Amino acid sequence: MALDGVDSVVIGLYFSLLVGLAFWAGRGGKARAAETSTSFFLANRDASWWQVACAFFASNIGSDVLVGLAGNGAKYGLVCGIFDFGSPVFFVILGWVYLPFFLEAGVYTIPEFIELRFSRAVRQYLAAVSLVLYVIAKISLAVISGSVVVQTVTDGAVSEFTTSVGLMALSAGLVIGGGMRAIIVTEVLQTVVLLSGSLALLVISLREVGGWGKLRSALPESHFHLLRSDDEAPYSASGVLLGYPLLAFWFHCTDQEMVQRGLSAKSLRHGQGGCVAAGVLKFLPPLAFAIPGMCARLLFAKELGFCEGCTPTPDIAFPLLVSRLMPSGLRGLMMAAMLAACGSVLASTFNSASTLFSMDVYRVLRPAATERTLVLVGRLTIAATCVFSLLWLPLVSSVSDTLFIAIQSMVACFAPSIATLFIFAMFWPRANVQGALAGLTVGHSIGTLRLVLVVSKFKPTRSVLTYEIMNMNFLNFAFALALLTSIALVAGSLLSAPPSEEQLRWTWKTRAGGKYQRVAMELSELEEAPNRVPDRGGWIAEDLGAVALLVAVLAVFSYGA
């Protein structure tokens, strides 16, 4: 069913509300007059725990995840939910292992922290790789998913290119005009609307198929397990156990876009509280998106290509459910929320990309740059990122036939090496600059080779090594890449001089041993953050919540295995 007049009015009102909120948060009154790099990139380090939680959640739940998770749910079942069901574990690792170090260091970016542990060369290398990842994976795929939504609703009346340019312009305008504070404020609204609408769609979808029992009897039993041993699913049990933790660790603990939300917190406790609350929210996407996708397989089998002689198009499952099943008005609200979710993720990524280039590249080259210049460079970086992402779009379809797999497959070419670096940086004091560069060079060379082979649709014979690199399951490849990175990192470190005393300050063993007095990261100690809330000692709600989250994850995987 096409959108009607009521839906159009609702969409217009929703976007008007978002634009108004963004203007109020980022450019209204004193905010614009007092704009600094801290306010533009980190929302003045003044976000409360609930804002941090919503920002964590909404920055990950864009239209790419809505479309991709529902499409994978239709094709493979609940197994695609492992990335969300396991997410709370890595939020706990971020909040209780890495975030205290990041906040104490007072950094703007994750590569900036890496300079403290290793060197400026490693920092700039990591910043460059992160920028490439944003262009080839996050931005491009978010735009494609938004295009899928628009084309499904309009029956192809709006071209993919027009949709792509429009979404990028809207998102770039949001972050250029309002910075990080505008993103956080709009992401709070996005979280509420998306979750409410998606859970409503879950109820409607289950009712249409005849209930949970009917769904279970109509689909293969394997669709209801989180650990699968069959060859059909890309999420094999070995990949889930070995490769998935590396991708999840990279995303939650080392990716600038995600960690930047924690860096904007008022204090460590607010950051940890945001991690716990976001971990709770992450149990919902498999229910709100994957299960409706499974219902869509029964309701719209022909449209999705699940019939003999048909070409599978599972990525249209979620927009198809919204357009066909939801009532007028609510349908328009969900369509607006889906498009705004795409814009929200794009704005988050643009903001993180601009932060990386401004703080890790431009400020390093021009240490005397003013606050105003840094903000201007950030805005120009956003414009350049839009252009490069548009140029990359035509090549993305070569990676996988489903959007969610495409995202994860491209990330698996680069993220495992970065995750390995951070694990060794924190827990192996002997790791040094030479080892870090050796590990990243080896890992990313192999990852780049795989990506080029896949995108170019190269067809090697089974007898050559390139065939194995190209066709290995992406999660198993992630584990193999991390293993090779580890070998190179350890060898490079042992064959060169150990790190300095100052570099060892940023390792877990040295700090836990009491060699350095841990400094409470209070805003009152930072000139740039005069409102920081002091941290409290002892066990409090955040610590108990973290333990409860870990128990809940164990229960979910035990039940779903």
CA-CA distance, 224 to 212, in Å (whole number)?
Answer: 11
Convert the pLDDT of each residue in 414-444 to its tens digit: 999 999 999 999 999 999 999 999 999 999 9
Q: Which two tokens stand for residue 315?
A: 């990525």
| Phi-psi category of residue 179: left, alpha or beta, with phi > 0 → left and psi -120 to 50 → alpha | left
Q: Which of 226-235, 281-290, 340-349, 385-394 has the lowest mean pLDDT?
A: 226-235
Percent of the chain's residues with pLDDT above 70: 82
Residues 147-163: b if buried by 16+ CB within 10 A, e if exposed: bbbbbbbeeeeeebeeb
Can you give the pLDDT at residue 401?
Answer: 56
pLDDT recorded at residue 350: 79
| Nearest one of 428, 407, 419 to 485, comparing CA atoms | 419
Domain boundaries defined on the chain: 1-11+40-363+372-392, 412-517
pLDDT of res. 525: 43
**pLDDT higher at 345 or 403:** 345
- For the cut 80, the answer to whether the pLDDT of residue 331 exceeds it is yes
* pLDDT on residue 516: 44
pLDDT score, position 35:
54
Please state the length of the chain. 561
Higher pLDDT, 402 or 529: 402
Highest mean pLDDT (candidates 282-296, 366-380, 457-471): 282-296
Interior CA angle at 424 toward 421 and 429, to 5°? 135
- The stretch 381-388 carries a mean pLDDT of 81
Nearest residue to 181 (alpha-carbon basis) of 374, 63, 51, 29: 51
Give the whole-angstrom CA distance, residue 452 versus residue 430: 34
pLDDT tens, 141-198? 777 777 777 777 666 666 777 777 777 777 777 666 666 667 777 777 777 888 888 8
Residue 514, pLDDT above cutoff 60: no
pLDDT at 519: 38
Residue 533 vs residues 16, 228, 526, 536: alpha-carbon distances, Å: 33, 46, 12, 9
Identify the three-state secondary structure at position 264: coil
Maximum mean pLDDT: which of 72-86, 387-401, 424-438: 424-438
Q: Is the pLDDT of residue 75 over 90?
A: no
The number of angstroms, rounded, from the C-alpha of 404 to the middle of its chain's C-alpha atoms is 12
Distances (CA, A) of 148 to 20, 111, 344, 537: 27, 34, 16, 49
Q: How confident is the model at residue 520 (pLDDT cuts 50, 70, 90)?
A: very low
Mean pLDDT, the chain, whole residue set: 80
User: Given this model, what pLDDT does residue 122 score?
Assistant: 93
Between 189 and 535, residue with greater pLDDT: 189
Question: Does the structure show a pLDDT above 80 at 472?
Answer: yes
Measured at the CA of 114, the angle between CA 108 and CA 116, to 5 degrees, comes to 90
**1-11+40-363+372-392 is a CATH 3.30.450.40 domain:** no
* φ, ψ (nearest 5 deg) of residue 94: -60, -50
pLDDT over threshold 50, residue 530: no
Q: Are 109 and 254 in contact (CB under 8 A)?
A: no
pLDDT of residue 478: 94
Higher pLDDT: 76 or 425? It is: 425
What average pLDDT does range 394-420 have in this prediction?
77
Residue 517 pLDDT exceeds 50: no
pLDDT value at 32 more than 50: no
> What's the pLDDT score for residue 92?
94
pLDDT higher for 179 or 345?
345
The answer to whether 241 and 234 have CB atoms below 8 angstroms apart is no
Q: Tell me 229's DSSP state.
A: -
Residue type, 515: K
Round to whole Å and give the CA distance between 242 and 247: 10
Quick one: pLDDT at residue 499?
A: 92
CB neighbour class for 224 (10 Å; exposed up to 12, middle 13-18, buried from 19): middle
Q: What percent of the chain is modeled with pLDDT above 90?
A: 24
Query: Across residues 56-85, what is the average pLDDT?
Result: 82
CB 343 within 8 Å of CB 143: no
Whether pLDDT at 250 is above 90: yes
